[in-house]
């Protein structure tokens, strides 16, 4: 045998030399859930060790993460049904929980990067990402609402707005409205390629944001399609996005690779709530080792071509690095 691939695996030193992909805390955005009240920290049933925090406890959690080297966060608000309406009007109310929290976080930790979510679902009485009339999601009417929400978030101090709604034309519309309002420096991370996925279930528990009727298949993509991903990515690039995101991550590694090979913007991938829940549940049953499988799932997302990973494992990953002096 002239060629023996095992030579390059013979010791930890050699394995480290030939390792092609690595992960750093700088690759991560950690999603956090905000709720109203004081001294609240409620575990989400389907997401062990992930909590809904009131602002006071959220600030402590952010401080904890900063000490571990994580400084980028995707913040999602949980609202009571009483605050929800058809227009998601709470989302641009200047005194609303979410916007006040962004202001406080940025004041207390100016170095933190806050990504805010642009979609109607946490504030919508219909539980959809867009405006619903006669059972239909109206695209162009939704754009006005999304842009108002994005400008309000920018005003509150958001660094990156993340449209997760999948309406057509929203990146351009939001970009124009942000610029008109003077927020040319606020970035857009577009949820460009977002599939209609069963893996969002635990997130909808976290926010009580499941659709009241129907599903999201008229706006989120069909998991069977990949060529459509390129249409979405090209549009968002032309419309002024700063980052392109693929969501979910684990079942869509081919899509991440497709974007990496065809687009020049930085690629992000969202390892979503259901992916996290599966890792945690199987390890709680004693069927897999959480840490090993977490590392493997994360490195595969990076290997596929994502530079940025949104993941509920972000803090566990940072703790792992610290524990092992890496
Ligand atoms: C909705 C939104 C969802 C997620 C992020 N933003 C759920 C959905 O589209 O129904 C899911 C994230 C996760 O599952 O972790 N705008």
**pLDDT score of 208:** 87
Distance between CA atoms of residues 155 and 89, nearest Å = 16
Distance between CA atoms of residues 178 and 172, nearest Å = 10
For residue 16, give the H/E element and its range.
helix 12-18
Dump the DSSP string for 156-194: HT-SEEEE-S--TTHHHHHHHHHHHTT-TT-EEEEEEEE
Distance between CA atoms of residues 20 and 84, nearest Å = 48
**pLDDT score of 24:** 97
Maximal CA-CA distance, the chain? 72
Pocket probe mutation, ligand 1, options 142, 200, 208, max atoms within 8 Å of Cβ: 200
Q: Does 31 have pLDDT greater than 90?
A: yes
194 is catalytic: yes
Distance between CA atoms of residues 313 and 315, nearest Å = 6
Query: Who contacts 180 (Cβ-Cβ below 8 Å, separation ≥6)?
Result: none
247 is catalytic: yes
**pLDDT score of 280:** 98
Q: Which range has the worst mean pLDDT, 1-15, 119-133, 200-214?
A: 200-214
Q: Does 281 have pLDDT greater than 90?
A: yes
**pLDDT score of 98:** 98
Interval 203-210 mean pLDDT: 89
**pLDDT score of 205:** 87
Tell the residue nearest (CA) to atom 6 of ligand 1.
164
**pLDDT score of 269:** 98
pTM score, two decimals?
A: 0.97
**pLDDT score of 29:** 98
Interval 110-124 mean pLDDT: 97
**pLDDT score of 4:** 98
* Residue closest to 214 by CA, chosen among 315, 134, 123: 134
Distance 204 CA to ligand 1 centre (A): 7
Query: Who contacts 192 (Cβ-Cβ below 8 Å, separation ≥6)?
Result: 229, 232, 233, 236, 241, 244, 245, 246, 259
Interval 291-303 mean pLDDT: 98
Where in the chain does DSSP place strands (E)?
28-34, 41-44, 47-53, 72-77, 113-118, 131-133, 136-138, 160-163, 187-194, 243-247, 267-271, 308-311
Dump the DSSP string for 187-230: EEEEEEEEB--GGGHHHHHHHT---SSS-STTTSBPTT-SHHHH
Q: Does 268 have pLDDT greater than 90?
A: yes
**pLDDT score of 131:** 97
CATH superfamily of 25-323: Aldolase class I (3.20.20.70)
Residues in contact with ligand 1 by the CB-under-6-Å rule are 117, 119, 121, 129, 164, 200, 203-204, 216, 272-273
Distance between CA atoms of residues 132 and 115, nearest Å = 26
pLDDT averaged over every residue in the chain: 97
Contact 309, 28 (CB under 8 A): yes
Distance 164 CA to ligand 1 centre (A): 7
Contact 167, 237 (CB under 8 A): no
């Amino acid at each position: 045998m002239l060629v023996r691939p095992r030579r390059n695996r013979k010791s930890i030193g050699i394995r480290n030399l030939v390792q092609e992909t690595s992960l750093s805390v700088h690759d991560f955005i950690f999603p956090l859930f905000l709720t109203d009240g004081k001294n609240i920290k409620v575990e989400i049933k389907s997401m062990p060790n992930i909590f809904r925090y009131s602002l006071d406890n959220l600030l402590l959690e952010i401080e904890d993460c900063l000490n571990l080297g994580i400084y980028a966060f995707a913040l999602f608000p949980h609202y009571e049904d009483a605050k929800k309406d058809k227009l998601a009007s709470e989302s641009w109310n200047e005194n609303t929980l979410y916007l006040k929290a962004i202001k406080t976080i940025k004041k207390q930790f100016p170095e933190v990067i806050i990504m805010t979510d642009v979609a109607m679902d946490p504030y919508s009485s219909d539980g959809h990402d867009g405006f619903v009339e006669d059972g239909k999601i109206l695209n162009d009417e939704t754009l006005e609402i999304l842009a108002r929400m994005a400008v309000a978030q920018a005003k509150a101090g958001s660094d990156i707005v993340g449209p997760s709604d999948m309406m057509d034309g929203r990146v351009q519309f939001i970009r124009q409205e942000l610029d008109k309002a003077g927020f040319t420096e606020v970035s857009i991370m577009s949820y460009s390629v977002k599939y209609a996925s069963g893996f969002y279930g635990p997130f909808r528990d976290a926010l009580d944001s499941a659709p009241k009727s129907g599903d999201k298949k008229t706006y989120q993509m069909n998991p069977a399609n990949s060529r459509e991903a390129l249409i979405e990515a090209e549009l968002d690039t032309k419309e002024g996005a700063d980052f392109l995101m693929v969501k979910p991550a684990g079942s869509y590694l081919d899509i991440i690779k497709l974007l990496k090979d065809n687009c020049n913007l930085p690629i992000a991938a969202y390892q979503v709530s259901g992916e996290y829940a599966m890792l945690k549940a199987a390890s709680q049953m004693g069927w897999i080792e959480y840490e090993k499988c977490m590392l493997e799932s994360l490195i595969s997302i990076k290997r596929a071509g994502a530079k940025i990973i949104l993941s509920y494992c972000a803090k566990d990953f940072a703790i792992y690095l610290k524990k092992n002096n890496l």
